[in-house]
Amino acid sequence: MTGSARREELAAGLARVRERVAAAARSAGRDPGEVTLCVVTKTWPLSDVVALRALGVVDLGENRVAEAADKAAGLASLPVPAGVPAPRWHQLGTVQTNKAAATVAWADVVQSVDRPRVVTALARAAERAGRGVRPVEVLLQVSLDGDPARGGADPADVPALADLVAAAPALRLGGVMAVAPLGAEPAAAFARLHVVAEALRAQHPAARTVSAGMSGDLEAAVEAGSTCVRVGAAVLGSRVSAPRPPGSR
């Protein structure tokens, strides 16, 4: 596919997703401007990130540290498109404690924090990296299916984790994140997340982000109060059936 055909494809995907988000917000009586679109660029090449930036995308999601660091550095070496704010990179994948320093080197937001050891490792790494002036935003990933293998903290553990993040000078507690359970009704799960998010906000009023909703379930998430949808396939295409062109990264 030529670069311009790909750009058109991305523009069309982005327009469709923005319209889906706006329609879901309107039908829930919400302002579409309350919902941030984080475009998940994992597995896709830097050229796609560059095209998305030119289309006004600010928030970019990744899940592998080395791949994300490469793309963030590649993007940083190029001029910022006129009228588009600086990019915000989100880590969506599980954070290994031995990769905390490598993560804070590129991530503005870490959405997948679910254990005290990860908070401690990120806090130390962020402090060493001098991030006290521009703290790393942390979202607490909440398990909605009680299956620890899929990641996420038990809702009962969220208050203590939140206090741990709030006490770290180089971290900023942003809110919560969740992935809907496989094979279940997403609306019920997102309603449970909303309860956790409200309790967190009562404890930490600035922690207002609720990151929920992906390509397949963003309407249910927005209707349940999501303020950040994380969308990959519906913008960029299927990660499985669209192999990367040779030589790209």
**What sections of the chain are H helices per DSSP?**
3-27, 46-54, 65-76, 100-104, 116-128, 158-166, 186-203, 218-223, 233-236
Q: Which residues bind ligand PLP (CB under 6 A)?
A: 40, 42, 63, 92, 179, 214-216, 230-234
CB of 130 to ligand PLP, least distance (A): 28
Measured from the CB atom, is 122 or 236 closer to ligand PLP? 236
Angle between helix 46-54 and helix 3-27 axes, rounded to 10 deg = 60
Measured from the CB atom, is 78 or 242 closer to ligand PLP? 242
Residue 14, phi then psi, degrees to nearest 5: -65, -45
C-alpha distances out from residue 106 to 55, 110, 182, 192, Å: 22, 10, 30, 31
CB of 148 to ligand PLP, least distance (A): 16
Measured from the CB atom, is 161 or 170 closer to ligand PLP? 161
CB of 244 to ligand PLP, least distance (A): 15
CB of 127 to ligand PLP, least distance (A): 26
DSSP 156: G
Measured from the CB atom, is 141 or 225 closer to ligand PLP? 141
Measured from the CB atom, is 131 or 230 closer to ligand PLP? 230
CB of 112 to ligand PLP, least distance (A): 7
Distance of CA 112 to the CA centre of its chain: 8
CB of 232 to ligand PLP, least distance (A): 3
Distance CA 186, CA 220 (A): 7
Measured from the CB atom, is 170 or 229 closer to ligand PLP? 229
CB of 193 to ligand PLP, least distance (A): 13
Measured from the CB atom, is 170 or 227 closer to ligand PLP? 227
Burial of 61 (0-12, 13-18, 19+ CB in 10 A): buried
